[in-house]
Amino acid sequence: MQISENISLKKYNTFGIEVIAGHFAVFTNESELSELLEFKKPTNTHQQPVLILGGGSNILFTKNVDGLVLKNEIKGIEKINEDEEHVYVKAGAGENWHELVLYCLQNNWAGFENLSLIPGNTGASPMQNIGAYGVEIKDVFYQLEAFHLQEKKIVNFGLKDCEFGYRESVFKAKLKGQFVITSVTYRLNKTPQFNTNYGAINQELEAMGVKELSIQAISQAVINIRRSKLPNPAEIGNAGSFFKNPEIDAVNFEKLNEIHPSIVGYPVAKGMVKLAAGWLIEQCGWKGYRKGDAGCHSRQALVLVNYGHAAGNEIYNLSGEIIQSVQDKFGVLLEREVNII
């Protein structure tokens, strides 16, 4: 366990932003994390500000980090229990998400197939309540373990404790910055419950020539769709969807629909309608926009990109311009999904 000074974080964030961490270390278990949290600069008697880093796929750095950056690399995947209908799979927070999905698919454990190819690590899945193609983590979540940074102890969180919402959890709200997720346990199905009604999954399955539906086929369809629409962070720096899909009440949706008949919206709970943020952004003319190395992707307006050497502030400022233009045109306020540092 080594603490390094003045380390570039470019390879640790999928935007590929060049910023420097004052101090940097990796932890692979709770004991190492606890020890690292005691670190103090030789010239300072106070503990360093701490930033916990996972896969770096949902973060935009706009400045250097004058503190201690700790990368979570707690690994391990194991089946810890099962009953007639379910298998309970526990994964370390540092496991790559898509590799966990593939592992479960190989074992015919159903529930993750719609969440294939989402970038990032397992620990972020409940923090963000990640979701895609009609499925969210809350649908397969059982419990998690999290390390309390002040009390230095492990606390268990069940489904209700996490207070899941749309790309939200208690860890992004009232408990933000207080815990480090160390492991997550999921409840997966022995008998699949296929979900193919969202997006273009059925069309892709048909194009693939699938005759007999399976979780593996659905996973491959999702992978194909994502690859056709979203840029690979290894090729173009990005953090996937930069904005959340906003929700407005049905009355306001009807008013917008009268003015913009092609507006995209989906009814959700409590009389609300979820709008497609990508559609709103595209209508404002941002799709394919580029200024320097910061831009809006040519195939998916929801994705902001770094074409090479953009600074975090350039991408952040672009996101602000997009938010303002959408509000001016539609009266709808977009919210950033990506964490800004």
Catalytic residue of the set 125, 169, 219, 241? 241
Cβ distance 335 to 41 under 8 Å?
no
10 Å Cβ neighbour count for 18?
A: 17
How many CA atoms are closer than 13 Å to the CA of 238, on its beta-carbon side? Answer: 25
Q: Would you say 305 and 230 are in contact if contact means Cβ atoms under 8 Å apart?
A: no
31 Cβ partners below 8 Å, 6+ apart? none
Whether 113 is catalytic: no
Burial class (CB in 10 A: 0-12, 13-18, 19+), 336: middle
112-to-131, 272, 328 alpha-carbon distances in Å: 10, 27, 38
Point out the catalytic residue in the list 95, 167, 183, 319.
Answer: 167
Q: Is 335 a catalytic residue?
A: no
The three-state secondary structure class of 132 is strand
Tokens standing for residue 329: 């045109």
Residue 241 is a catalytic residue: yes
CB 26 within 8 A of CB 73: yes
Active site residues: 167, 241, 337
